[in-house]
Structures are given as structure tokens and as C-alpha cells.
Structure 1
Amino acid sequence: MSYKTILVHVDESASAGERIKIAAAVAMTEQAHLIGTATTGASRYLVQARMLAELDPNLRTHLDFLRHRARQGLEDFESSVQKLGLSSYEKRLVDDEAGGGICLQSRYADLVVIGQNDPEERSPVVMPDFAQFVVLNSARPVLVVPHTGRFDNIGTRVLIAWDAGMEAARAVASALPLLRRAQHVEVVSFDARSQSMSPGRDLAQYLARHGIHAEVLQRQPEGAVGEALIGLADTRGSDLLLMGAYGHMRFRELMLGAVTRAVLEATRVPVLMSA
């Protein structure tokens, strides 16, 4: 397995440049095609039905403004990837709200790269629950890049949060291209049950058959697992966190597992999730 198509969400946020840089670096390493996708924030159903253009001329003017804003982000994307030397890329403007648009486009990619919500930078296009929505509804693994910090290397030291669940298993399988290139891989299980049970060792054996050596850690968190996981990633010098995402949707309301929510809100290193 390898990544042949990577999708990165493009907008005008302050953290977009770092996100694009990471996506381009992975694309160059994997010799993959990179698609920079910007969304206007207008519902695709209204646009397709021509309702925005026909109901009110003011709405048409507003849609033109939203498209202009999205194109500006795509121009920045193109400038960035050209400077980085990426040859295979394209720009894509989508008339849709950000969550739904990226999830729809993800069906034609192997990996999706998005940004963590920045509570200090509000957007008229990207909803605060954007990252959670995409993680739970994307057809592909999602790499979430923190809204602060520089990440010159990702995937050199990988920390896998492992509970032997289906979501975690999908996350590991989807990350095999990155894990094969990692210099150091650690598997951690936060399990208050018997120490004789060690699903981490089973995962290490699975990874070894893929040529990936992994060290197994066992931890008993004193507090919340999410906080313990973020703290461990800092302590171990991890530059990529890999884990399953747990939750479900009820209309637009997000019902996330406590660990998933804590990591998405507070992670300080890029995290690859799969639901």
C-alpha cells in the first residue's frame, strides 16, 4: 500500500501554510499527487439547484465573494507547493460547506490533511467542529495538523495509541506507508486490566511482518487517558500520533469519545486518525 493521492484542505487561516507544507512533504516522499481543495462555504445543494443565483442577486454577489476568497487560498497553495518543488498537484474549488465538501472529495484520495480548530481564529467558512466532522465522516484516514507550531519532520518518531479496537486497527493499516519510513515506532496501551493481557505485543508482531520494528509500552494513567496520551507524546519526543477515532453523528451534533475529543482539541503534534 502507498499513498497515490493526497487531499489537503486549503483556506486563509494562519496555520494553512504549515498544513500545506506537511501535505506536500508526504506527497513528495510517496511520489503522490496532491490536491489542494478550498470550499466556498455555500451549500452545494443550493448551488446545484441554482437557488443562490436566482432567489436574490445579493446572494449571487455573496457567492462570488466566497469564491474569490477560496481562489486566494488556492493561489497561496500553488505558490507554496511550487517553492517546495512538488510537480504533481492540482487546485480544486468546491461549492460546499467545508465539512461536507472535504468528506465528499476524500472518497477519491488515500489520505486527507486538515487543520486543528483554532479557537482564537474564527472563520466564516470553517465551522468549529470541522476536524471532528471530517474525522468521523471521511472515507479515508485523516491527518490533523495543530494550529500552532512548526513541524519540519513528521513520522520520524511515531506513537501508536493501541486498544485493539477496530478503529485503531484501521488507523494502523492506513498508516503503513508512514510507519515503514519511521525511525522509531512505539505502541502504548493504557489498560487498567490484567498486565498478562498485552495486545500491544500482538500489534508489534503484526508490524514486524511489514518490516516495522515497534517498542511496546504499558501505561496506567492516573487521570484522563487523552491527557496522558498527549503528555506521553511530548515526553517521548513523538512527531506523529496515531490512533483510532471514536464517536457517531446525530444530525450535526458530534458525539465523540472522551479520548478522541481530548486529543483533537489539545494535541501539540500531528495526529493521524481513522474512524
Structure 2
Amino acid sequence: MSYRTIVVHADRASNTEARIALAAALAIREDAHLVGAAMTGMPRSMLAGRSYEGSGVYLADYLRRAQERVQQALGHFNSIAERLGVPSHEARSSNDDEYAGLCLQARYADLVVLGQAPAADQEEPSLLPDLPDYVILNCGRPVLLVPRNGRFATVGKRVLVAWNGSPQAARAVTAALPLLRGAEQVTLAVLGNSSGILGESPGADIALYLARHGVNVEVLRRPEPTDPGKAILSLAADFNVDLLVMGAYGHSRFRELMLGGATRTVLATATLPVLMAH
């Protein structure tokens, strides 16, 4: 498989330029079509009304200002894509909230590139704090999460794969194959095997699977940690990797997100790009 269409969220957050630049580099590398997606932030159901009840703010005026913000974000996307030489790209806007809008755009892509949510002490009014969580759990596509700070000249040269034998981890590994095949170093970390599902030689089966796809893997086995999320990020730092691949665990009910501990920790504190699949 390969990435033929990549969608990147275009908004006004502080890491937008780094996020788009990373998505552009991947699109060039994979010869993929790059889509910049921006939403007005308005649920479709609101467009049927005339005003917000009791507020005196007319919906048409709010929509006009929201569309101006969208056009600014997409103009920024286009300028970056053109400057970096992305051969095939387009800007898409929609009158929808970011949750539904990004999940819809993801249906027609191989990979979605999102920005990490702001830290608790940061003010980023343009970025919804639970947006990455929601999209990862609901879009049905792998998501590449770009940290809130920093720029990333490379992604996928040195990769850490967090493996526990779960369906989510298997989907993440499969989704990352285009990057893993071109990696210089792939370390597959197995942290414990308390369930016994990984057999007598944990990691050997998935390493063989990857080898058949042309990926050279080094299997690293460690005891089961107290805090898997912190342990995974610590290994990523120890091996100086530029990409982490892992499954995302949790479920969403009416936007009440219930994430697994490792998923929550990595989403909140990762300082390197993370490819996740649910």
C-alpha cells in the first residue's frame, strides 16, 4: 500500500505551519495528493436557523466571519504547499464543525495529519482540546499527530513501534507500512506479555510480518511498566526516533471520550510525531 491522498487540518493554531510542512513533505515523498481541510466550526443543524436565541447575533454575520477565517487558513495552506513544491494539492472548506468535518474528509484519504491539542497552560482558542482524541477514535483512518511545538525536518527515518498484539496496534502497523519500508531504523518495543497473547517469543510474529514487507526490525523486549505511556515516550527519546507508531485505545459516546492510559499520556505529552490508528 501507499498513501495516495493525505488530508491536513488547516486552522490558526500555533503549530499549523509545521503541521502543513510535514504533511507536504510526506505528500512529495509519497507522490500523494495533499488536501488542506478547514471548517467554519458550525454544526450543519445551526445553518437552518436565523439567529442565536436571545443573543442578537445573526447567524449570517457569524457565518461570514467564520468563512473569512477559513479562507485565511486555506490561503496559508496553499502558500506553504506551493512554496514547498507539492505537485498535487487542493484546499477544501466546509460549513461544519471540526469534529464531523474532519472525520468526513478522512473517509476519502489514506492518512490524516492533525495538530496536538494545546497544553493545559496554553491558550489556543482556535483549537478544540479534544479534537485529536475525537478524530482518532471516530474517523476510521490513521492519524499522524504533530506536536504543538517544534518543526520536524524528517519523519520516519528512525521509528519506534509500540506493539502489544492488539487489533489497534495491528492497524497502526499496517497504516505505517509506507513509512516503515523507507525507514533506516525500526525498533519494535514489546512491554511485558501479561496476557500471554504474544506467545513464547513476543514480537517475533509481527517482526516476521514486517520483514515480508521489506522492513528490517529490531525487537526490543522490556518488563511491563507501571505507566506504559511514559515508558513508550522514554524509549522514543532513548532511541532518538522521529516517529512513534502505536494503537489508540478508547471509545467515544456523545463526545465523552474515554481513552486508555497510554493513549491519553502520549496524546497529551508527545514531543515527536505519532502515527495512531484505532
Q: CA deviation at 1:127?
A: 1.8
What is the aligned partner in structure 2 of residue 19 from structure 1? 19
Q: CA deviation at 1:221?
A: 4.8
Q: Of residues 218, 223, 233 in structure 2, which corresponds to 1:220?
A: 223
Structure 1 residues 170-209: Cα deviation after superposition (integer angstroms, max 9, x where no partner): 1111111111111110100111537973331111100010
Amino acid in the other structure paired with 2:205: D
Alpha-carbon distance in 2 for matches of 1:86, 1:127: 28
Task: Show structure 1 runs of 4+ deviating over 3 A.
Answer: 52-57, 192-196
Q: Normalising to structure 1: TM-score of the pair?
A: 0.94
SS in 1 for 2:190: strand
Q: Of residues 238, 260, 264 in structure 2, which corresponds to 1:261?
A: 264
What is the aligned partner in structure 1 of residue 239 from structure 2? 236
Distance 1:196 1:175, change over 3 A: closer
Q: CA deviation at 1:70?
A: 1.1
Alpha-carbon distance in 1 for matches of 2:46, 2:200: 53
Q: Normalising to structure 2: TM-score of the pair?
A: 0.93
What is the aligned partner in structure 2 of residue 173 from structure 1? 174
What is the aligned partner in structure 2 of residue 31 from structure 1? 31
Matched, 1:183 2:184: yes
* Structure 2 residue runs without a partner (length 5+): none
* Structure 1 residue runs without a partner (length 5+): none
Q: Counterparts in 2 of 1:123-134, with a 5 A limit?
A: 123-124=125-126, 126-134=127-135
Matched residues, number: 272
Structure 1 residues 53-103: Cα deviation after superposition (integer angstroms, max 9, x where no partner): 798772210111011011101101111011101120000111111121100
Alpha-carbon distance in 2 for matches of 1:20, 1:106: 16
Alpha-carbon distance in 1 for matches of 2:50, 2:65: 13
Matched, 1:110 2:95: no
SS in 2 for 1:108: coil
* RMSD of aligned residue pairs (Cα, Å): 1.7
Q: Counterparts in 2 of 1:1-275, with a 5 A limit?
A: 1-47=1-47, 50-52=48-50, 58-119=58-119, 120-124=122-126, 126-191=127-192, 193=194, 197-275=200-278
Over the matched positions of the two proteins, sequence identity in percent amounts to: 47
* Larger helix proportion of the pair: 1
